[in-house]
């Protein structure tokens, strides 16, 4: 039994906005004081995180003077040096300021679209300055309340043009930076464009430099919509597009909760961790969540430690699943190939097509087979609950 202590190679990261979240919601004000970026770095180091990510304005407030900017950067850099934390990812806040109320890259106002490009280029410079290798785009306001307001196909074109422009900007600056687009179906807008991992993958294929662009899927964003997150992640991975991941938890069909990782759907979290570990995903395990509003900063540390601990416990369970003789015997049996049929699979040929068309299948006998999934699932439950 390991101690489930986070190590740098686990690549656990948090955003400044996650542990720095002050507990404001639509019905109540802040419950926790504001901490400086440097203070948050020390907090993250205390709980054992590997890295810290930021939005441009988490680090440098929008109206900061040049002197203020220099002094914030200096203390942030000092905190990074003293703690050894790194900045693997950065992003732009294109949703909070009133100027983005109708979106950023997809706003109907060309001034807003141009301002969004300017803000993002400056934020990319800031991310690169602190060594970020992944740049996330979450288009929180890139949507509508009413479809009367925008042509949805035009909105996708605007988004494409912006991402193409910014890809070329990165190449021009010779930054070693990849983009990760983060889908979310709704909230804060009624509907957001490119709402799912699948939409985003389809969109990426239409870009000028698709090789520079992948996805940043988030647990809560799929679970809000009742989707199977692990399956979406697997599809992104299989397409070579899993550049980053946002881990948290969420009850389906509710407002955006950003719960501690694994605290709601432990079985879904298990399959997710198992998938990431089985394929040896080597990117950040970024927790995009925050502590309950009931907590003080000790509670925030409990929250952050809990995210990492649950991940590591599930990682151990995944290894146990892979080594469990009974589970593995069933898996082998249900996945067994039929050598008689092997010649019929694979690449198309006219002969193969003819042979399959002429093959005589004993449908009733085939259908009578039991797949043992009940047994397999209960073994998985026993394992997760510690009874194996
Ligand atoms: C949300 C999003 C954001 C983004 C963040 C980084 O639901 O609010 O998940 O937290 O991940 O802006 O891009
Ligand atoms: Mn989210
Ligand atoms: Mn997110």
Q: What is the CATH number of the domain that holds 128?
A: 3.20.20.150
For residue 373, CA distances in Å to 328, 335, 382 come to 13, 12, 14
Contact 261, 305 (CB under 8 A): no
| Tokens of residue 260, six digits | 């501690």
> How far, in Å, is the centroid of ligand 1 from the Cα of 17?
9
Q: Pick the residue whose CA is nearest to atom 2 on ligand 1.
A: 138
Q: How far is it, in rounded angstroms, from Cα 155 to Cα 153?
A: 5
Residue finishing a domain among 273, 292, 319:
319
pLDDT value for 3:
87
218 lines ligand 1 (CB under 6 A): yes
Question: Among this protein's residues, is 55 annotated catalytic?
Answer: yes
Query: Which residue from 3, 82, 22 is spatially nearest to 300, judged by alpha carbons?
Result: 22
287 lines ligand 1 (CB under 6 A): no
pLDDT value for 2:
64
Q: Are residues 236 and 372 in the same domain?
A: no
SS3 of residue 242 by DSSP: strand
3-state DSSP: the chain helix, strand, coil percent, rounded to 5?
Answer: 50, 10, 40
SS3 of residue 86 by DSSP: strand
Residue whose CB lies within 8 A of the most ligand 1 atoms, among 14, 220, 288, for a mutation test: 288
Contact 7, 15 (CB under 8 A): no
Contact 218, 182 (CB under 8 A): yes
Count of residues making up the chain: 388
Q: Are residues 87 and 114 in the same domain?
A: yes
Quote the domain boundaries for residue 339: 325-384
Contact 50, 86 (CB under 8 A): yes
User: Which of 55, 244, 286, 290 is labelled catalytic?
Assistant: 55
Residue finishing a domain among 291, 319, 347:
319
H helix or E strand, kind and range, residue 180? strand 178-182
Q: Are residues 114 and 211 in the same domain?
A: yes
Q: Are residues 143 and 205 in the same domain?
A: yes
Q: Are residues 364 and 292 in the same domain?
A: no
Contact 229, 217 (CB under 8 A): yes
The DSSP code sequence of 156-168 is HHHHHHHHHHHHH
Report the chain's terminal Cα–Cα distance, integer Å.
14
Pairing of the two strands 191-192 and 143-144: antiparallel
For residue 48, CA distances in Å to 10, 45, 82, 244, 308 come to 10, 5, 14, 20, 9
Q: Are residues 167 and 244 in the same domain?
A: yes
Residue whose CB lies within 8 A of the most ligand 1 atoms, among 14, 53, 246, for a mutation test: 246
58 lines ligand 1 (CB under 6 A): no
Per the structure, how many domains does the chain have? 2
For residue 147, CA distances in Å to 113, 158, 161, 193 come to 19, 16, 21, 11
Residue whose CB lies within 8 A of the most ligand 1 atoms, among 105, 134, 138, for a mutation test: 138
Ligand nearest to the CA of 53: 1
Q: Could you tell me the mean pLDDT of each successive run of 10 residues in the chain, 388 residues long?
A: 88 98 97 98 98 98 98 98 98 98 98 98 98 98 98 98 99 98 98 98 98 98 97 98 99 95 98 98 98 98 98 98 98 95 96 96 97 98 97
Residue finishing a domain among 303, 319, 335:
319
Ligand 1 atom closest to residue 187's alpha carbon, by position in its atom list: 7
Q: Pick the residue whose CA is nearest to atom 4 on ligand 1.
A: 138
Q: Are residues 260 and 354 in the same domain?
A: no
Long-range contacts of 205-210 (CB under 8 A, 24+ apart): 206/160, 207/160, 207/163, 207/164, 207/167, 208/164, 208/167, 208/168, 209/164, 209/167, 209/168, 209/171
Q: Are residues 290 and 377 in the same domain?
A: no
């Amino acid at each position: 039994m390991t101690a489930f202590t986070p190590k740098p190679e686990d690549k656990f990261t948090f955003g400044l906005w996650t542990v720095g979240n002050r507990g404001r919601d639509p019905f109540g004000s802040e419950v926790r004081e504001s901490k400086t970026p440097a203070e948050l770095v020390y907090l993250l180091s205390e709980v054992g995180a590997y890295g810290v990510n930021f939005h441009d304005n988490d680090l440098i407030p929008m109206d900061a003077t040049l002197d203020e900017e220099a002094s914030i950067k200096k203390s942030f850099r000092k905190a990074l040096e003293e703690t050894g934390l790194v900045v693997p990812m950065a992003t732009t806040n294109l949703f909070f300021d009133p100027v983005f109320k109708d979106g950023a890259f997809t706003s109907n106002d060309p001034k807003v679209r141009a301002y969004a490009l300017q803000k993002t280029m400056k934020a990319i410079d800031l991310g690169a300055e602190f060594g970020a290798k992944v740049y996330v785009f979450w288009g929180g306001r890139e949507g509508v309340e009413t479809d009367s307001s925008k042509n949805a196909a035009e909105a996708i074109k605007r988004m494409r043009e912006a991402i193409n422009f910014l890809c070329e900007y990165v190449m021009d600056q010779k930054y070693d930076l990849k983009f990760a687009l983060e889908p979310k179906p709704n909230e804060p807008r009624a509907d957001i464009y490119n709402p799912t991992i699948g939409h985003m993958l389809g969109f990426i294929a239409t870009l000028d430099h698709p090789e520079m662009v992948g996805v940043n899927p988030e647990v809560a964003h799929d679970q809000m919509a009742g989707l199977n997150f692990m399956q979406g992640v697997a599809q992104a991975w299989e397409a070579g597009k899993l550049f980053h991941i946002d881990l948290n938890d969420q009850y389906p069909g509710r407002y955006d909760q950003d719960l501690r990782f694994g605290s709601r759907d432990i079985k879904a979290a298990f399959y997710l961790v198992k998938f990431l570990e089985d394929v040896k995903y080597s990117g950040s395990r970024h927790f995009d969540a925050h502590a309950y509003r009931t907590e003080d900063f000790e509670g925030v540390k409990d929250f952050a430690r809990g995210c990492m601990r649950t991940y590591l416990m599930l990682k151990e369970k995944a290894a146990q699943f892979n080594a469990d003789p009974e589970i593995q015997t069933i898996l082998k049996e249900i996945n067994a190939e039929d050598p008689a049929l092997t010649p019929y699979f694979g690449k198309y040929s006219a002969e193969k097509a003819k042979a399959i068309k002429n093959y005589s299948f004993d449908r009733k006998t085939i259908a009578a087979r039991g797949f043992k999934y009940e047994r397999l699932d209960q073994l998985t439950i026993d394992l997760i609950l510690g009874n194996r």
